[in-house]
Amino acid sequence: MDLEAAERLRRIRKSCLHLSHRTQSGHLGSCLSLIEIVDSVLEVSNLRPHTAVSPTRDRVILSKGHGAMAYYAALKEWGMLSEESFRGYGEEGAALWGHVSKSNCAPAIDYSTGSLGHGLALSAGHALGYRLQGNQSRIFCILSDGECNEGSTWEAALFVGHHRLKNLTVLIDANGLQGLDECSRVIDLEPFAEKWRSFRFEVRDLDGHNWKDLVKALRTPSDGPRVLICRTVKGRGIPGMENRVASHYLSARVEDLERG
C-alpha cells in the first residue's frame, strides 16, 4: 500500500472514532470492519467530486447502511462531503444520520439504506439499466454477511446471475457477527463461496483489511458478475471491541480516540 492510501485510511478511521465518541453513535464495530473495503472501492471507481452529480457515473451502494460513519468519513476524504456536513452528523435537523442518508450535501449517495436486504436489488437495476444504455460505468454493492440471511438478497442474486451483469461487483463485509449473535449460530452461511458460485458469480475470498489486495481484485477484469467475500474483524483495532457482538452497538470511548 502506498503512503498516501495508508494515511487516508488512518484519517478515515480517526474520523469514525471521533464522530462516534462526540455523538455517542453506535455501530462503531461495524464501521471499523468496513474502512478498507469502502476506500478501495472509491480508489478504483470514477466517483469523484466533479462526477458525483453525473447520472452516468460509477455507483457505490452501501447496502450495509449501519456502516454510515465509515462511508461518510471516506466521502469526506475523497472530497465528496464537506467537513461542515460531516460534523453535523446526528444533530437536530442534520442531513446525515446513523444509517446512510441520501442528501443534497452528498450527491454520491444514491439511496438511504439500513433496512437490510435491498441494496443488491437496487444495484442490479442500475447495472441492467447501464448495460441497456451502453454505459460502461460500474456498480459496486457493499453488503454485510448478516444481511445475506435476507431472501431478497438471494432473489436479486438470481436476477444478476441470470442476466450476467458483469458491470456489477458485490463486496461482502464478512466479519462473522450480526446484531444478536455469530452469523454461524443465527443462520450458517457456509459454504458461502459455493453458494455465490451456484448463482453464477465469480468469487474471490480474501482479507478485507488488505487494501492492496482489494484494489487489485477490483481492477481485475471479470467475465460476469462477481463477489468479493472480504473476511474482516468487527471492531478492528479496538481492544475489548474486536470480534464482539456488543461492538455492533458500542460507541467510542475516550481511551479509544488515541488508537485512531
Omega prior to 191 cis, within 30 of 0: yes
Q: What is the DSSP string of 90-156?
A: TSTT-S--SS---BTTBTT------STT-HHHHHHHHHHHHHHHT----EEEEEESGGGG-HHHHHH
Cβ atoms within 10 Å, residue 210: 16
pLDDT (tens, 9 = 90+) of the chain, 260 residues, equals 789 999 999 999 999 999 999 999 999 999 999 999 999 999 999 999 999 999 999 999 999 999 999 999 999 999 999 999 999 998 888 999 999 999 999 999 999 998 999 999 999 999 999 999 999 999 999 999 999 999 999 999 999 999 999 999 999 999 999 999 999 999 999 999 999 999 999 999 999 999 999 999 999 999 999 999 999 999 999 988 999 999 999 999 998 888 76
> What CA–CA distance (Å, rounded) separates 159 from 125?
9
Q: Can you give the pLDDT at residue 116?
A: 94
- The strand order across the sheet containing 139-144 reads 59-62, 139-144, 168-174, 226-231, 202-207
> What CA–CA distance (Å, rounded) separates 175 from 237?
13
Spell out the domain ranges in the chain. 3-259
Residues 3-259, CATH architecture: 3-Layer(aba) Sandwich (3.40)
Q: Are 75 and 62 in contact (CB under 8 A)?
A: no
Q: Using DSSP, state whether 212 is helix, strand or coil.
A: helix
Q: Can you give the pLDDT at residue 1?
A: 75
Residue 89 grid coordinates: 452528523
**pTM assigned to the model:** 0.97
